[in-house]
Structure 1
Amino acid sequence: MATPLTGSEVAIVGLAGRFPGAQDLEGFWRNVCDGVEAIRSYSTEELLASGAEPELVRHPRFVPAAARLENVEGFDAAFFGYTPREAELMDPQHRLFLECAWEVLESSGHGGQGDPLLVGVFAGQALSTYLLVNLLGNSAVRRSTDPLQLNLGNSGSFLTTRVSYKLDLKGPSFLVESACSTSLVAVHVASQSLLNGECDLALAGGVSINLTQQHGYLPSEGGILSPDGRCRPFDASARGIVFGSGVGAVALRRLEDALADGDPIYAILLGSAVNNDGALRGGYTAPSVEGQAEVISEALANANVAPETISYIETHGTGTALGDPIEVHALNTAFGGQDLPRQSCILGALKANIGHLDAAAGVCGLIKASLALHHRQLPPHPLYEEPNPHIPWEEGPFYVNTDLMDWKAGASPRRAGVSSFGMGGTNAHVILEEAPKRSPSDPSRALQLLPLSAATPTALDALTERLASFLHKHAEIPLADVAYTLQVGRRALEYRRVLVCGSTTDAEEGLTGASSTRRLLSGSTVATGAPVVFLFPGQGAQHPAMGAGLYESEPVFREYVDACARALQPHLGLDLRELLRAPQDSTAQARLEQTRLAQAALFTVEYALARLWMSWGIEPEAMMGHSIGEYVAACLSGVLSLDDALALVAARGSLMQELPPGAMLSVAMDEAGLRPLLGPRLAIAAINAPSLCVVSGPPEDVRSLQEELTRNGTACRVLHTAHAFHSPMVEPILERFAQIVRKVKLETPRLPYVSNLTGQWITPEQARNPQYWVDHLRQCVRFAPGLETLGRKPGRVLLEVGPGRTLSTLARRMPVPSGPWTVVTSMRHPDELIPDAQVLHEALGSLWLAGASVNWKGYHGNARRHRVALPTYPFERQRYWISPDVQAQGVPGGETPAELGQPPATTATTGMPSPDAARHPRPRLRNAFVAPRDEQEHMVARVFEEVLGIEAVGIHDNFFELGGHSLLATAVVGRLRDGSGVSIPLQLLFEGPTVAQVAERLGGLSWRPPNEDPERDALLLMLAELIRLETPSAP
């Protein structure tokens, strides 16, 4: 920026919308740059085929043109947790704005779960023609739908609060309404809320879906509607507007916050203003030069910029004989036109491209201007041929361009103004400036983790394809920023996928399945914050260079390895890092097999790795070690300080190394079958699985047992150890070790872990007793019983925190009563030729797939990363639509919402809740479908189906798991009361929410159809007609 920040700047960090001729921002900007006119004209054949009245179509003044929004019937109801019937009863304006609200937060990089920002929502909508024409025009809806439900689903009062509820946003949330200027006023209000500290991020916008002019319209003589179906702002042939449908939303933040968080910034909102014309105009609906000039002047003053620094104005630009000259006159007045160079500021008008979007017009103009600043291009003005002679062009700097132009830099930053003027006189103007140049991101890891998630498998596939296509087109975006945005800026949904990759090309190939080296891992979970258990392996897992790659790439791991190595050096007489970073050869292996070095090295690597995991938010709910691994658990639990733990581990290893040589044998046999085969000098050192034990003792005794087992066909294997751990051979050192332990302060565990001695949870008394640690050295490691203890709680995720996969293998073989668990390995096996970083990142991805919570900011540490605009969620829209009883043939009455060229819909378009209404498939439930068995259950199931809009409800289906809530429960109880003639308490449904339970409570009551209410029907129809007749057209 040319000047220092004042603290009053607001950054536009996210954009989203649906527009005539474009379903997304990319298509919208392409159309704008190409000068595309999205107002479509229809042939007589198309109109007649769609059901329009022939007399109307052939009327000499009828204009067969409209700026339609495609697929307004579509909505991803399941994604937002709505039942099909709720979706059908909801104004498509609410549905589309809800989708765009989700998209704009994702676009900003702040759509993640647990984002700490306080988010406000400020928006408005046009009149609900869906309510007036479709819902109140359907007799079944009028007869059987609670008016409160109609109000909640269609009134503008609930537009923003619906978003706040569904997206869990806790900042201010309220409707803004000022006719055509609604959405730009919402932007002004949102900006003020940000600057006043009421919220940290503000979502602002508007939506307008006009179902009454889907085929065309009849303009009145001297009215504002264009008689030829074209909108030509500032042109000599301009004769009026064409209404369109659309939705737009922007995400706003205080500029200093956006810069600090690395948000994507499309433009800066330097200042804004809102006023009203008062009585200084020709009539209530007429515009005012004075009012418009004043609001522009005030916005310039609030932005603290000179008019001559503005080189583009996105105007209100209605293309009317009265509106255009007044608007340019007001601009000339505000800019002090006579003093500025001619043709130094371009005028644009989005209405020439997509028509007048009413409550969404202002924000869509803001989106266009923001994209122009972002791309540094000035789009052409379509349909402009000759300047309007009634506009005082010579009095100011303004002109209209007809070609796409590069927006050249001047002495000041590129700046633009955006105007929006509402019928009723409320005017809004904002001043924009180009975004400051982004500082580069910090250097990143060699490998990146890309997490993707969606609500369904098919949506996940679509999202994967979208991201691959995006990366192919945008290789210039740092992959680390892409990964960061996916990690912190998206919510973790049920179906998940991760990819570990090293470059954009690598990522693209991995996402498309074209890579032979990158694995695309997938999974599903409904868990949030899945409990993770750390497993720490014991001696035998060590190998040279274990963790060497992590030492180089992970600062936290390196920090704790360094700390342990320094503390151990006086005990070991060497720097342990020499071994940990040594080449993986026989010399290093021989040194590391020395017990005193092996145990110290294992503790160091496992402790450092655990600390790394914890810095990434993977906090253990519980832990269990194997032999020496329990010391890591005890240290992390607070039983031992780090210095004391290292001293004990060093002493333990040194004492054991003094012992005579011993041997250990792994045997595929359970404890009961193995114990009778053991001689007096042999002992069972470990029970690793129900049928896998380890025997320990003198080498000759172990060799004899091996020969005997081999003759009997029992699988067994000698382990690579120098001593007979957990056997009578260690008894000579027990007292000396006990003396050392007694000098150490032992504390009560703060984190639960499983004891090797008992296979049960460690008790405070055990942990604080020095004799426990002596017995731990001598007695059997009961690892399999410990796994049984862990398996009693469902949903646990086991993470092996140490080298290799020994414990992971044992855990996977363990039958778990609570169901299969997820087991993850952190480090590679010594024979694997996979980089340490890849194994670790795939482990992190696997934990996320299983539902573990990850602290992604902790993962990135102090590195500066940028959020980038990535492809947003691929909603899976289905048609949810209720049509009037009789498709009226008139236009502009608009009782014809069907797609042009398509027959009236016969699925999901009938009224609610007639018994033959088309319904949507039963959702996935935990219970199997069981059909109703008698008339009572059929009756209750039918009511569930009608209220929820679902087909084939089974007797064990839970009303609330099907998508029901308290308001719909009231509807169910009302239907059952009307059908049975018996007053049924609402509590009945809460106490027994399945079909079978409700039917049982109803007993032997018979069903009868609900009574009709002709008087209520007539009142609702009268209300709809009065509102329709009194609704004014927009300017």
Structure 2
Amino acid sequence: VKSNVGHLESAAGAASLAKMALALRNDKIPPSINYAGPNPYIDFEKEHLKVADTVTDWPRYSGKAIAGVSGFGFGGANAHLVLREVLPGDLVEPAPEPDVAVVTPATDDSPAVFVGGVRMDEYGEFVHDDDDDDALDRPAPAVDDEPETPALTEEALRLLALAREELAAGTDESAAESKTDLVPLAVSGFLTSRKKAAAAELADWIDSEQGRASSLQSIGRSLSRRNHGRSRAVVLAHDHDEAIKGLRALAEGKPNPSVLTADGPVANGPVWVLAGFGAQHRKMAKNLYLRDETFAEWIDKVDALVQDELGYSVVELILDDSQDYGIETTQVTIFAIQVALGELLKAHGAKPGAVVGQSLGEAAAAYFAGGLSLADATRTICSRSHLMGEGEAMLYGEYIRLMALVEYSAEEIETVFADFNDLEVCVYAAPTQTVIGGPPDQVDAIIARAEAEGRFARKFQTKGASHTSQMDPLLGELAAELQGIEARPLEIPYYSTVHEGKLFRAGADPIHDVDYWKKGLRHSVHFTHGIRNAVDNGHTTFLELAPNPVALMQVGLTTAAAGLHDAQLIATLARKQDEVDSMTTAMAQLFVHGHDLDLRTLFPRSSTGLAGALDFADIPPTQFRRKPHWLDVHFTGDSSAVIPGNHVATPDGRHVFEYLPRGATDLAALVKATAAAVLPDTRLVASEQRAVPAEGARLVTTLTRHPGGAAVQVHARIEESFTLVYDAIVARGDAQSALPAAVGAGTVAESATAPAPVEDEPDDDAAILHDNLTAGAGIAAGFAKWKPDTGESIGQRLGTIVGAAMGYEPEDLPWEVPLIELGLDSLMAVRIKNRVEYDFDLP
């Protein structure tokens, strides 16, 4: 297509593909425009090459018409496609689709469909039957070789029945406070502006009669099945009015607590944070246990293991509203909740990019990283918590040790400890926060000192200080109880707070042996070091798995100290908040930031098992922004820089231009542009329109010079028929030039034009930049150099520069996509480079 439209750089391949598709459809090879003859340095006959200079029938050397298209992109990237004409055999009707039958095997409660003999679930995923013959050829999934574990206790069953009755009757506090289920409405687009436009269209539809007649669940389910662009948002709503309000806020770019939005995905997966002591509270996880089957299933699994280890039921603890958690039951129950929360997230398609544990959270972290089986992880937390509980129960008087969080950095605490000889560091929680432990009088004294200095300080309700020398008597018995646990190779990157926050990559040798757990109980926890290493490795999302967020504040302090001021800090559950809604919100946040999350699974199946027509809403289809990409010729009153078509100078001194307009043409502007292309400083002095050009006619403009100006005629041409449509006279202005001297063919004559006066170059460098860079780059005039005191960040100015050069609004620029993939060409790169050097005063 170079002879048609010139250089297109990365767009040439697509244009050539369109040209060849049209040529195949019309069964003709179009001629190459302006072809004058073969290159004398190429042996066309020997190489079996030919350039079509006329319309040619398509040859069928192999019995069919074939075309090749090559695209040569920026930086030497090449792409080649082969096209073939459609043959009669391509039009054979396909075989009819096999009937689809819904089958529910007795061994599986989940619904499925059989398509062509293959069993699939409602999301199109393959489902393997236990009795499938092919299963004999597949390796069996790894399972823990564990003995049969106990079922729920009778007391747990009694409490469960009572809780379900309260939930159904609405007498349970958590159930009474919650409204209808929170519904996530996903809206997305490749660009932020398209996402906003989609939100506005959806808001209008929901506010219509048809939209209000559709259930919010059906609307959300339909939206979840769509393709999701890079710029995502989720509007969380309980009813139609909340949905409309949130969508309109999203469309207008206004903040709203029910709107979660991000303009592009983050690069690395989320870090799952398994926190330590302090998240416990009465009724924690009870509502979620009653309302979410997946969560309850995994609580029950841990409950059976805990019964086997310690002889009591975690389910009883969760369902007992009067439960006041102690040092032992707190650790075991939080561990069970962490495991169930993680498995619930995994059931919805989420997965960790890395994990980090803190104190008791190390057990669940080891399980999710693959370092321990669930049975061994449960055994570890049970042994640890039971020994600590027994030890704390025996403490009295001078043997009691307290713990407190004080606002001192690791360096500052060492200086402060010079006045408190018996205090020890329990947890390096954040760059400016440290958990310390020791005798009560010294703990109280350091708290008083911190508060007197205007620093934050808080005492923990404990009688013992873990991660200090007080744990030494427990280490031998802990090692004895953990004999036989099997440490496994890691499957997920692991930031170990036991090993000073060090990263152990997936596939690393096992680390969770007995010595690991002894060190973890006795020595300081390097939590902030693990978070800092995660930030340094590119992680920006941190998801805390806990019944109440207790570590996210320290995570936020660490990310801010590392220079990451927009980290995504996501809680799963929170005290006094609806737990199902909290989990929906957490998963929506993961989805918005581009992390793995199957949004379809947030919408439960209907009573029949599969979603039917009534479970979906007839929401508006995706509206595409249609933009023409034809290069039209537009004329303005001073379009001296525009050549109106192909130009030919005839021997008799006339100048002829010809082009095919793609719409209505201003004939007066065409005449001015023609005159400006040949004569300097002309003006239109007389004109008369004789006819209106017919649709599809080419415009042929002829300029005939005469003293003082020229006569210009515009003819409309259809094939070989010409019709005069416009007649005009242009006159010369002040600029004068002599006629060229007549010389022999091939001899260059010196111009007789009087030298134009040299104009002083403008002193304003902004004017120079506007003339040579701005007008071509699409950047508005009147801009100023970037200054730090304007409130505009460097990133915002770069977004303006790059977006203007590449045709994006700054808010739509996909920062995570390489510019070459967005269509950067050499001219754009030069414009960006020049503008950056100017705006930031770079040498």
TM-score, normalised to structure 1's length?
A: 0.46
Deviation at residue 864 of structure 1 after TM alignment: 2.6
Which residue matches 1:880?
629
- Cα 1:193–1:524 change in 2 (3 A) is farther
1:512 shift after superposition = 2.6
Match of 1:674 among 399, 413, 416: 413
1:28 alignment counterpart:
none
Q: Give the aligned partner of residue 753 of structure 1.
A: 494
1:360-759, aligned counterparts within 5 Å?
446-472=181-207, 473-490=210-227, 492-513=228-249, 519-527=258-266, 530-583=268-321, 587-588=322-323, 591-592=324-325, 594-658=326-390, 659=392, 660=395, 661-678=400-417, 679-757=420-498, 758-759=500-501
**2:549 matches 1:805:** yes
Q: Structure 1: how far apart are the matches of 2:27 and 2:808?
A: 25
Aligned to 1:1006: none
The structural deviation recorded for 1:750 is 2.6
Match of 1:864 among 603, 610, 614: 610
Q: Cα–Cα, structure 1 residues 581 and 902, in superposed 2: closer, same or farther, change >3 Å?
A: farther
Find the residue that maps to 1:475 and give its secondary structure. helix
In structure 2, do the counterparts of structure 1 residues 736 and 931 end up closer, same or farther at CA, with 3 Å as the change threshold?
A: closer
Q: Distance in 2 between matches of 1:921 and 1:782?
A: 52
Distance 1:664 1:88 in 2: 71
* Matching residue of 1:823: 568
Cα gap change, 1:451 to 1:704, in 2 (>3 Å):
same
| Cα separation, partners in 2 of 1:176 and 1:158, compared to 1, 3 Å | same
Deviations 1:806-825 (A, max 9, x none): 22221111136574563332
Computing the radius of gyration over CA atoms, which structure comes out larger, 1 or 2?
2
1:627-671 per-position Cα deviation (integer Å, ceiling 9, x unaligned)? 000110112223322122222212211211222243111110112
- CA distance in 1 between partners of 2:667 and 2:16 (Å): 22
Which string of whole-angstrom CA distances, capped at 9 and with x for unpartnered residues, describes residues 326-377 of structure 1?
Answer: xxxxxxxxxxxxxxxxxxxxxxxxxxxxxxxxxxxxxxxxxxxxxxxxxxxx
Alignment check: 8 A CA contact 1:618 1:855 kept: yes
Task: Please state whether the residue corresponding to 2:503 is helix, strand or coil.
Answer: coil
* 2:447 partner amino acid: Q
Q: Aligned AA for 1:735?
A: G
Alpha-carbon distance, 1:536 to partner: 0.5
Deviation of the 1:929 alpha carbon: 6.8
Q: Deviations over 1:100-157 (max 9, x none)?
A: xxxxxxxxxxxxxxxxxxxxxxx9998699x999x979x9xxxxxxx99xx9xxxx99
* Higher RCO, 1 vs 2 (CA within 8 Å, ≥6 residues apart): 1
Does structure 2 conserve the Cα–Cα contact (< 8 Å) formed by 1:84 and 1:950?
no
Aligned partner of 2:663 in structure 1 is 898
Query: Which residue of 1 is the match for residue 102 of structure 2?
Result: none
Deviation for aligned residue 1:546? 1.9
Q: Which amino acid aligns with 2:448?
A: E
Instruction: Give the whole-Å Cα distance in 1 for the aligned partners of 2:797 and 2:388.
Output: 58
CA 668–652 in structure 1, closer or farther in 2 if over 3 Å, else same? same
Equivalent pair of 2:186/2:224 in contact (CA under 8 Å): yes
Unaligned runs of 5+ in 2: 1-7, 37-50, 56-64, 72-81, 100-113, 125-179, 634-643, 647-658, 674-697, 700-771, 781-793, 810-816, 835-843
Aligned equivalents of 2:524 and 2:68: distance in 1? Answer: 65
Deviations, residues 735-761 of structure 1 (Å, cap 9, x unaligned) = 111211223233332322111222112
Which range moves more in the overlay, 706-715 or 457-466?
Answer: 706-715
CA distance in structure 2 between the aligned counterparts of 1:858 and 1:747, rounded to whole angstroms: 31
- SS of the residue aligned with 1:611? helix
Asked if 1:775 corresponds to 2:519, the answer is: yes
Q: Which moved more, 1:81-90 or 1:652-661?
A: 81-90
How far residue 877 of structure 1 moved from its aligned partner, in angstroms, is 3.5
Using the aligned pairs only, state the percent identity. Answer: 19
Q: Distance in 2 between matches of 1:257 and 1:791?
A: 44
Seen in structure 2, the aligned counterparts of structure 1 residues 464 and 125 have a Cα distance that, compared at 3 Å, is: farther
Partner of 2:589: 846
The CA deviation string for residues 907-961 of structure 1, in whole angstroms up to 9 with x for no partner, is 9xx99xxx999977489x98977999xxxxxxxx9xx99xx9999xxxxx99835
In 1: Cα distance, 2:779 partner to 2:30 partner:
30
Deviation at 1:768, TM superposition (A): 4.3
Q: Is the 8 A contact 1:160 1:174 kept in 2?
A: no
Equivalent position amino acid for 1:761 in 2: L
- Give the corresponding residue for 1:182: none
Match of 1:192, SS state, is: coil
Q: Is the 8 A contact 1:803 1:826 kept in 2?
A: no
**Match of 1:898, SS?**
coil
Equivalent residue pairs, number: 560
Residues 669-698 of structure 1, C-alpha deviation per residue, up to 9 Å, x if partnerless? Answer: 112221243334321100111110011123
Please state whether the residue corresponding to 1:734 is helix, strand or coil: helix
Q: Is the 8 A contact 1:481 1:865 kept in 2?
A: no
CA deviation after TM superposition for structure 1 residue 600, in Å = 0.3
For 2:799 and 2:600, locate their aligned partners in 1 and report how far apart those are by CA, in whole Å: 47
1:569 is displaced (CA, Å) by 2.5
Native 8 Å contact 2:422 2:438 kept in 1: yes
Q: Which letter maps to 2:284?
A: M
* Aligned residue number for residue 728 of structure 2: none
**Per-residue CA distance 1:837-872 (angstroms, 9 max, x = gap):** 222112111112211021345555765335655323
**1:194–1:690 Cα change, 3 Å:** farther
TM-score scaled by length of structure 2:
0.56
- 2:637 is aligned to none
Instruction: Determine the C-alpha separation between the residues in 2 that align with 1:132 and 1:799.
Output: 60
**Contact 1:792-1:816 at 8 Å conserved across structures:** no
- Which amino acid letter does the alignment assign opposite residue 718 of structure 1? K
SS in 2 for 1:453: strand
- Give the Cα separation in 2 of the matches to 1:670 and 1:876: 54
- Residues 842, 927 of structure 1: alpha-carbon distance in 2 compared, 3 angstrom cutoff: closer
Contact 1:599-1:653 at 8 Å conserved across structures: yes
Mapped partners of 1:612, 1:761: distance in 2: 26
Are the structure 2 counterparts of residues 82 and 465 from structure 1 closer, same or farther at C-alpha, using a change threshold of 3 Å? farther
Report the counterpart of residue 987 of structure 1 in structure 2.
Answer: none
Hey, what's the Cα distance between the residues in 1 that align with 2:311 and 2:115?
Answer: 57
